C-alpha cells in the first residue's frame, strides 16, 4: 500500500473514531474494522487494533489529538508528529497493544467497571481539576509506587515511557464515557510523582491547560 495512502487512512481512523468518542461510547467493531482495513493489512494486527479501539477505557480522543493533530500537553516532552504512514500505523499499534495488556492486568489491581466509567462519576480532585488529561501527556514518569505497593513488572517499563519512543501520553491515561474527560487508570496506586502533582503545578502550566475541544 502506498505510504501516503496509509498515512491518510491512519489519520482518517483517528479523526473518525477519536472525534466520535469525544461525546459518545466506544466505536462499534464493524466501524473500527472498516477504518482499520486501510491501515493494517495483517489480519492478526487488525484484530488486535480493533479490540483496543473499541475498549471502553482507551483514550481514543487523546490519540487523535496527539498523534493526529499534534497536541503536546507538556512542551518539555515533545514528540515529533509521524509523517510517514508505516511509522504512524506501527506506533499506533504499539500503543493499542499496550493498552490491552495494561487493562488486562489492571483487572486484578484496580476495580473499574467493565463497561467504562461515566464522566459524571469523576470528581477532578474536588473540582479544581477539569480532567483535561494534559498533565499526563508526557514521555514518561518516575515509576515509583506508593509505600507497600509493587507494580507488575511490565508497568515500570510502561510508566517510564520505554514501551513506545516517544509516547504521546502515559498509557495509563484513560478516557471517560460521555464527555472528553480523562482519568488515571492507576489512580488509587499511582506513582509518587503523579501523587505530588497538585493544583499549583497545574496552574504553572496554564493557560495552555484546561478543558479543550479539538
Cβ-based nearer residue to ligand SF4, 40 or 155: 155
Least separation in angstroms between residue 71's CB and ligand SF4 is 12
Cα separations in angstroms, 62 against 68, 151, 162: 9, 25, 19
Least separation in angstroms between residue 205's CB and ligand SF4 is 6
Q: Are 54 and 119 in contact (CB under 8 A)?
A: no
Q: Which residues bind ligand SF4 (CB under 6 A)?
A: 129-136, 141, 159, 170, 172-173, 184, 186, 190-191, 194, 202, 209
Rounded Cα–Cα distance for residues 172 and 15 (Å): 21
Least separation in angstroms between residue 212's CB and ligand SF4 is 9
Cβ-based nearer residue to ligand SF4, 88 or 184: 184
Cβ-based nearer residue to ligand SF4, 13 or 159: 159
Burial of 28 (0-12, 13-18, 19+ CB in 10 A): exposed
Three-class secondary structure of residue 131 per DSSP: coil
Least separation in angstroms between residue 186's CB and ligand SF4 is 5
Least separation in angstroms between residue 141's CB and ligand SF4 is 5
The H or E element spanning position 174 is strand 173-175
The H-assigned helical ranges of 107-191 are 153-159
Cβ-based nearer residue to ligand SF4, 89 or 194: 194
Cβ-based nearer residue to ligand SF4, 64 or 155: 155
Amino acid at each position: 500500500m502506498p505510504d501516503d495512502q496509509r498515512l491518510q487512512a491512519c489519520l482518517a481512523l483517528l479523526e473518525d473514531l477519536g472525534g466520535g468518542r469525544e461525546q459518545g461510547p466506544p466505536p462499534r467493531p464493524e466501524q473500527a474494522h472498516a477504518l482499520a482495513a486501510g491501515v493494517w493489512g495483517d489480519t492478526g494486527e487488525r484484530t488486535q487494533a480493533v479490540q483496543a479501539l473499541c475498549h471502553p477505557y482507551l483514550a481514543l480522543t487523546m490519540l487523535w489529538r496527539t498523534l493526529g493533530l499534534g497536541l503536546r500537553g507538556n512542551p518539555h516532552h515533545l514528540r515529533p508528529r509521524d509523517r510517514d504512514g508505516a511509522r504512524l500505523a506501527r506506533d499506533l499499534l504499539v500503543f493499542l497493544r499496550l493498552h490491552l495488556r495494561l487493562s488486562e492486568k489492571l483487572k486484578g489491581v484496580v476495580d473499574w467497571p467493565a463497561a467504562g466509567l461515566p464522566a459524571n462519576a469523576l470528581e477532578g480532585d474536588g473540582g479544581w481539576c477539569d480532567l483535561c488529561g494534559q498533565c499526563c501527556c508526557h514521555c514518561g514518569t518516575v515509576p515509583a509506587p506508593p509505600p507497600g505497593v509493587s507494580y507488575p513488572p511490565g508497568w515500570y517499563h510502561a510508566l517510564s515511557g520505554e514501551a513506545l519512543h516517544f509516547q504521546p501520553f502515559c498509557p495509563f491515561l484513560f478516557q471517560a464515557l460521555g464527555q472528553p474527560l480523562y482519568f488515571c487508570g492507576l489512580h488509587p496506586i499511582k506513582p509518587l510523582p503523579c501523587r505530588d502533582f497538585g493544583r499549583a503545578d497545574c496552574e504553572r502550566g496554564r493557560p495552555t491547560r484546561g478543558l479543550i475541544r479539538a
